[in-house]
Amino acid sequence: MGNEQQDRPGDPLTALLDQVRLRLRDLDDGEPASYIPELGRVDPDLFGLSLCALDGQVYASGDTTTPFTVQSVSKPFVFALALADHGLENVLARVGAEPSGEAFNSIRLEPVTGRPPNPMVNAGAIVTSSLVAGDGPDERSARILEGLSAFAGRPLKVDEAVFASERATGDRNRALAYLMHNAGSLTGDVEEQLAVYFRQCSVLVTCEDLAVMHATLAGGGVNPVTGDRVVAPRHAQHVLAVMATCGMYDASGQWMLQVGMPAKSGVSGAIGVALPGQFGIGVFSPPLEEKGNSVRGIAACHLISDQFGLHLMRATVPQRRPLPPRSLHPAPLRSLRHRPRSQREALDARPDRIRVHVLQGDLDFATAEQTLRAARELPGAVSWFVLDLTRVGRVETVAADLLRALGEDLRTRGTRMVLADPDERQAMARPADEFPDLGRALESCEDGLLAELGLDPDAPVPLADCDLFGRADARVRAALADAFDTLRLPEGETVEPPGARLSGRIVLWYVESGRLAVCADSVSTVRTWSAGPGAALTPADFPARMSRQVLAERDTVCRTLTAEGLMRLRASVPEAVAVLERAPLEGAETVDRADTA
């Protein structure tokens, strides 16, 4: 895993990890742990650095596949398993969550309850280990091994020699366990509980395993490599919180101050780091400082946090530049629906009824609050408030909640909130008020406004009644209507746009009923515009590169005038052509555009 990246020269992230490792390779303070011979025999020059992204990509630099015993880095994961088995409240009844200000092997217990201070010191970890579900020590050990393997995304094994040594030399831990048994915070057979704990510490992992395990916590409990959910999101959150305040023993405050990422270190020289929503890191370098943390491991975490500005307490404030697409649209924005003049005039007369607010970037508390403010400053006349989410990235819970509250609040004030959202986050709006793009959202608002004004945008408009013909008399109108062909398109049928080479030289399209849409792309459903009853279209409405196909969105009746038809009309009823040439098409277009000769 990751080795192929390491070998490829062209990977800037691996290169950055390499740089970090290179800068620290000469840092040769400290000594490997030596309280058991197995740890003392390790090569002190081993140095590995791995990072696992939340989609499972593993980056590796140095000795990232060398196995070592997980030791105290197991504590957050076994805490997570205990939380999964009993829930936070029951676990907290047996072990605290306060930094003790003391070393990893502190014997201080809470005065009244006898609880160890937190699950990250040895005493607390012995208790959480004893809380993992299972009938007897073997079953519990098996569940712990299975759980750690699920976090790592591969089957892990126990180093039996280390286990035997730990068990034989664990005086201090044995003392802690008996003290807690005496205080009532550790129940059951003390030696059995200790065996489970020592086995847990003796599980073999690699630097890459640690990166994946911490990425699983950072990603809310889902292993990014296997895709399996290992623990619930709330339990992953609990574990990270306890790592943040207690993970580095009596240097936890300093760690939060200077590194600012939840972490856990172990006596074999490993440090694991998890940045919520971003990544997991594993570092391995055996020499330890006096508090029992890897010297290079600490330095590497400092460098990474500094260099990348990854501190949890950094304030990334959104840019203030009033970019037009991010602000409230001051002018009325119209959909690209072709409409007859009567509807256009009605909409033009009420530009104050529909407002569009365009959002960009991730939606968090800050952006949602700004949207609420924009909505509060809406003029009273606004009845449709369109939120364009098409440029939005991830949406945090708080933002969805606030926008939902906004939608409800606006409704009580007689304003509808309408979403343009290709991701269809229907949590925020009633489905009826949500559309996949801004064009459709605006069309719906305009249709609503027209209905309010007594106009039915879907009512058929026969060609004879259309506003193109102005005050033409009945004879001229009849001649005009005669000159047009009829094209019936059932819903879902597509035709080539008139811009296409073999279009039959249609110079004017008129929609009597139904709806047409022009799609920019035949694969996706990106609509350029649509046209309802009463709309008249010239070839200029079918721009060459944006009109791949014309789709009948409903059963549609079109009337079409070809260049030949126009020539015949010019010969037989010239005043009819004059009427057409004066016809008020949209966008200052006139038919003479289409009839250029």
Mind telling me the catalytic residues? 72, 75, 197, 249, 267
Annotated binding residue 398:
no
In whole angstroms, the minimum distance from the beta carbon of 573 to a copy of itself comes to 16
Of 403 and 441, nearer to a copy of itself (C-beta) is: 403
Annotated binding residue 118:
no
Annotated binding residue 285:
no
Of 192 and 592, nearer to a copy of itself (C-beta) is: 592
Strand (E) or helix (H) holding 431: none
How many C-beta atoms lie closer than 10 Å to residue 505's C-beta?
14
How far CA 346 is from CA of 145, 415, 449, in Å, comes to: 71, 19, 9
In whole angstroms, the minimum distance from the beta carbon of 375 to a copy of itself comes to 8
Are 217 and 147 in contact by the 8 Å Cβ rule? The answer is: no
Handedness of CA 125, 127, 133, 134 (dihedral sign): positive
**Among candidate residues 174, 88, 91, the one with its CA nearest the CA of residue 128:** 91
> Directed axis angle between helix 233-246 and helix 75-92, to 10°?
100
Tokens of 482: 């005669």
In whole angstroms, the minimum distance from the beta carbon of 440 to a copy of itself comes to 17
**Among candidate residues 363, 262, 375, the one with its CA nearest the CA of residue 328:** 375
Annotated binding residue 265:
no
Residue 427, exposed/middle/buried by CB under 10 A (0-12, 13-18, 19+)?
exposed
Question: CA 346, CA 24: separation in Å to the nearest integer?
Answer: 72
In whole angstroms, the minimum distance from the beta carbon of 412 to a copy of itself comes to 8
Annotated binding residue 122:
yes
Are 40 and 173 in contact by the 8 Å Cβ rule? The answer is: no
Strand (E) or helix (H) holding 417: strand 416-420
Of 10 and 379, nearer to a copy of itself (C-beta) is: 10
In whole angstroms, the minimum distance from the beta carbon of 474 to a copy of itself comes to 27
In whole angstroms, the minimum distance from the beta carbon of 185 to a copy of itself comes to 17
Strands 506-513 and 516-519: unpaired
> Directed axis angle between helix 438-452 and helix 341-349, to 10°?
90
Are 251 and 273 in contact by the 8 Å Cβ rule? The answer is: no
**Among candidate residues 540, 538, 528, the one with its CA nearest the CA of residue 561:** 538
- Specify the amino acid at residue 293: N
In whole angstroms, the minimum distance from the beta carbon of 158 to a copy of itself comes to 30
Of 155 and 227, nearer to a copy of itself (C-beta) is: 227
Of 5 and 169, nearer to a copy of itself (C-beta) is: 5
Task: Read off the DSSP letter of residue 291.
Answer: T
Of 278 and 494, nearer to a copy of itself (C-beta) is: 278
Question: CA 272, CA 300: separation in Å to the nearest integer?
Answer: 11
Annotated binding residue 149:
no
Question: CA 116, CA 109: separation in Å to the nearest integer?
Answer: 5
Contacts for 338 with CB less than 8 Å, ≥ 6 apart: 511, 529, 530, 531, 532, 535, 536, 537, 541, 586
Question: CA 296, CA 21: separation in Å to the nearest integer?
Answer: 9
Of 320 and 471, nearer to a copy of itself (C-beta) is: 320
The single residue listed with the structure tokens 């809380």 is: 131
In whole angstroms, the minimum distance from the beta carbon of 191 to a copy of itself comes to 30
Bridge partners (DSSP) of residue 435 are 420
The single residue listed with the structure tokens 């009948």 is: 552
Distance of CA 292 to the CA centre of its chain: 38
Contacts for 80 with CB less than 8 Å, ≥ 6 apart: 147, 151, 217, 221, 230, 231, 235, 236, 238, 239
Annotated binding residue 267:
yes
In whole angstroms, the minimum distance from the beta carbon of 395 to a copy of itself comes to 9
SS3 526: coil
Of 244 and 511, nearer to a copy of itself (C-beta) is: 244
Question: CA 228, CA 2: separation in Å to the nearest integer?
Answer: 20
Of 196 and 468, nearer to a copy of itself (C-beta) is: 468
Residues forming the annotated binding site for substrate? 72, 122, 166, 173, 197, 249, 267
